[in-house]
Structure 1
């Protein structure tokens, strides 16, 4: 299959796209043009449409949770880049309240996708489809569910763990601890890893395979502090010959990238010629136009002189107040009438090397950790780090390489600084009066009003 096409009217069974705020975080009633659960799993083709519909809804519209919004907000709360638009100032200035703009989307939309995945899992288990089909579809749904939960728990700490398709029950579930959520993620992702096929479904990497589940598992184990399993699962992916670090940085974010472990194909319903919503958002409308997303000055100062990532993944522009750099990993704004060349990169191989480097350092394998760091540095055109280095120096080197390598991607910097308890130390240097209280992302007030079982996130 040369190109995976998502259907215009998808055969779905989820409750709501939840692209905008609603009275409860899971709503009832499928849209009228959608097929009921009873008919969704009668044959492999209709079952496949349910999972394709989930991916389609995750990336159909601009500035939603999985289509640029999470990246923009978390890049601003950290020190990746910030927006010139005042609607994002609360995130840039770390003055986020339970009524801040966009915050409800960070809660509502992931739970909508989780509800969709839950219905697929339940429906596929009750079906009489061939076992191979059931495993693949169920594995993809479990992966997608885990993916959303990973971000929810790292944003809000204590969240409801919803596994039911009963909406009334779901809307009355209390909060689980981060430990409980991670325990669930390990279980669900291990099941997905076991069920998914080794090969991708089709010639592109837009439907998860076994390596996709292994990649997210490696990250989850790292966040849990299970260094041994983080090393094991990242090594699985690194040693898979399908994945390759590309020498040319300008090829990394193409839809044909061999570095891709999982990509999302944009379903363009509103603006002709979009390749990725990131490209549409960040790339100026014409070559001489100014940008509206600027990399923090402190981050620009972190790049070594010969770093190719500064040259290829950032773009300078000059206005009266000075020269600034905008994110330029995605280089296509619109491409009307021409083939799509870029897909949204969700999981890629470079992260696995950095996961393994950190895990190996924690396992007292400093030389091997340095080897992994230097693979990433070499690709960036930098000289290798050499002994003698203390464990603390190597840890800071991993932190720096992860920051610059994954700059602006999926909130990595914000989550890493918080899980390693480095946020205050690092961000107070960039943002001035940054305190531990500023690391807390509150649960939206509208959500608290919808479910009396929920309490505000008071952890940081």
Structure 2
């Protein structure tokens, strides 16, 4: 079949009916391969199609099939447990920070900030994002070489660029220097050297600018499970914040906040449901292995029953930092007693299993945009901007009933500390925010020394797994 696909003239020589029959047999296999490719952790680029496979000749000549291949990127993110985007990044980075810890020994290297190139699971944090990037590159190339309509090409290409930027965002923030894979040439990509952090951010930024230009405000599906223009702007606002482009971070977040489709609901139990008004982008529940799973975080963290040992335990220092009236502590964490000892575990996701599905994995939500804008305004640092930053923080504190409200007369240093604290409370356990915040603001040593004796600047570096280093001799350790 590869020879048939390689030779476009043979395809054209067949009658349309025969070609469509061949497509019907092959395309589901191709899409399935894209969808499950992120499961493997052994190779650098699992998702790249064979060199002899001409994607555009078959997959991307049909709009429905091309769309299915694009949607396959999201299936890869959320189809199986213990994967980069299905809760594992959130879990590992939250444990590495000071959100919560694991009650058994499985993640001790993360809890103790003693990560080595041999540490379990680090390979997934590299290979799985790259697998999804491979899928995105396949979509971008396939669409470019297809005969699809201009509007469909723009939609699918923009989604793929958004996903590629999303994956590179986490790769560069975990490993600092990473290879920039932007096509499907396996022979070239398997020996690429690492690009600088700035070069990676340049690609991320351009991909998101392109996605903003190409995506519409309307979602491509009935739910918020495929990115739209506001999702691209939301991620771009975060990128501007991380790269210290304060005015751009402020203005871009403001565009998202101004969209009245997104709201800060007063009922905290609705924030992570599949119908949440706060959600900007979610991952559709597509689990293929365990009946009833809504989100893999919920499945992992919610105990089987009220008598078992809750393994994901929030640090007491983290709990003590909340205001006593803060509903985020009361509603987004749950106490369970085991062996006479009370533990509180993260419970933003309430369901271990539920049928029909109630919750989706929430990736981007409105509260983060208020936090981005507040931090950008605080860094601009004028009295007027600091006052506006405090107003943004108080929107979230008011929703949570966190008393008292913050004063608008804070100094710049106090305003930035207030932002750090509010991000800690609001984004607890989500997508590694706490870890990335402490590292990017150079606060990790001061803050995490209270958790891990002897925490130093070198502990802020996440090592590249030794098995990954073996796949490409041009890769250098992150030390």
Q: TM-score higher than 0.5 here?
A: yes
State the distance in 1 between where 2:288 and 2:395 align: 40
Q: 1:351 aligns with which of 348, 351, 368?
A: 368
State the distance in 1 between where 2:33 and 2:287 align: 21
For residue 431 of structure 1, report the CA deviation from its aligned partner.
2.3
Q: 1:400 aligns with which of 421, 429, 441?
A: 421
Q: What does residue 21 of structure 2 align with?
A: none
For residue 10 of structure 1, report the CA deviation from its aligned partner.
6.8
State the distance in 2 between where 1:38 and 1:266 align: 31
Q: What does residue 440 of structure 1 align with?
A: 461
Query: Are residues 161 and 456 of structure 1, via their aligned partners in 2, closer, same or farther at CA, if it must alter by over 3 Å?
Result: same
Q: 2:134 aligns with which of 76, 98, 115?
A: 115
Q: What does residue 169 of structure 1 align with?
A: 188
State the distance in 2 between where 1:366 and 1:42 align: 53
For residue 319 of structure 1, report the CA deviation from its aligned partner.
2.1
Q: 1:285 aligns to what SS in structure 2? A: coil
Q: What does residue 268 of structure 1 align with?
A: 287
Q: What does residue 360 of structure 1 align with?
A: 377
Q: 1:62 aligns with which of 65, 76, 81?
A: 81
Q: 1:93 aligns with which of 112, 119, 128?
A: 112
Query: Are residues 9 and 343 of structure 1, via their aligned partners in 2, closer, same or farther at CA, if it must alter by over 3 Å?
Result: farther
Structural mapping, 1:58-457, within 5 Å: 58-320=77-339, 322-335=341-354, 338-364=355-381, 365-382=385-402, 383-457=404-478
Listed as ranges, the gaps of 5+ residues in structure 1 are 1-6
1:12–1:35 Cα contact (<8 Å) kept? no
1:10–1:49 Cα contact (<8 Å) kept? no
Whose helix proportion is higher, 1 or 2? 2
For residue 13 of structure 1, report the CA deviation from its aligned partner.
7.4
For residue 59 of structure 1, report the CA deviation from its aligned partner.
0.6
Per-residue CA deviations over 1:182-241 (Å, capped at 9, x if unaligned) read 111111100011001110012200000000000000000000000011011100000001
Q: 1:86 aligns to what SS in structure 2? A: coil
Q: 1:192 aligns to what SS in structure 2? A: helix
2:298–2:349 Cα contact (<8 Å) kept? yes
For residue 266 of structure 1, report the CA deviation from its aligned partner.
2.1
1:14–1:119 Cα contact (<8 Å) kept? no
1:298–1:430 Cα contact (<8 Å) kept? no
State the distance in 2 between where 1:254 and 1:294 align: 23
Q: 1:262 aligns to what SS in structure 2? A: strand
State the distance in 2 between where 1:73 and 1:401 align: 21
Q: 1:220 aligns to what SS in structure 2? A: helix
Q: 1:429 aligns to what SS in structure 2? A: coil
Per-residue CA deviations over 1:81-127 (Å, capped at 9, x if unaligned) read 11123121100001100010001000000000000000100111111
2:47–2:135 Cα contact (<8 Å) kept? no
Listed as ranges, the gaps of 5+ residues in structure 2 are 1-26
Q: 1:11 aligns to what SS in structure 2? A: helix
For residue 296 of structure 1, report the CA deviation from its aligned partner.
1.1
State the distance in 1 between where 2:366 and 2:423 align: 12
Query: Are residues 9 and 205 of structure 1, via their aligned partners in 2, closer, same or farther at CA, if it must alter by over 3 Å?
Result: farther
Query: Are residues 454 and 329 of structure 1, via their aligned partners in 2, closer, same or farther at CA, if it must alter by over 3 Å?
Result: same
1:10–1:53 Cα contact (<8 Å) kept? no
State the distance in 1 between where 2:309 and 2:235 align: 36
Q: 1:326 aligns to what SS in structure 2? A: strand
Q: What does residue 23 of structure 2 align with?
A: none
State the distance in 1 between where 2:221 and 2:34 align: 24
TM-score, with structure 2 as normaliser: 0.90
Query: Are residues 152 and 239 of structure 1, via their aligned partners in 2, closer, same or farther at CA, if it must alter by over 3 Å?
Result: same
For residue 379 of structure 1, report the CA deviation from its aligned partner.
0.6
TM-score, with structure 1 as normaliser: 0.94
State the distance in 2 between where 1:253 and 1:15 align: 24
State the distance in 2 between where 1:54 and 1:14 align: 7
Query: Are residues 265 and 8 of structure 1, via their aligned partners in 2, closer, same or farther at CA, if it must alter by over 3 Å?
Result: farther
Structure 1, 35-44 or 270-279: larger mean CA deviation: 35-44
Q: Does 1:41 align with 2:60?
A: yes
Q: What does residue 4 of structure 1 align with?
A: none
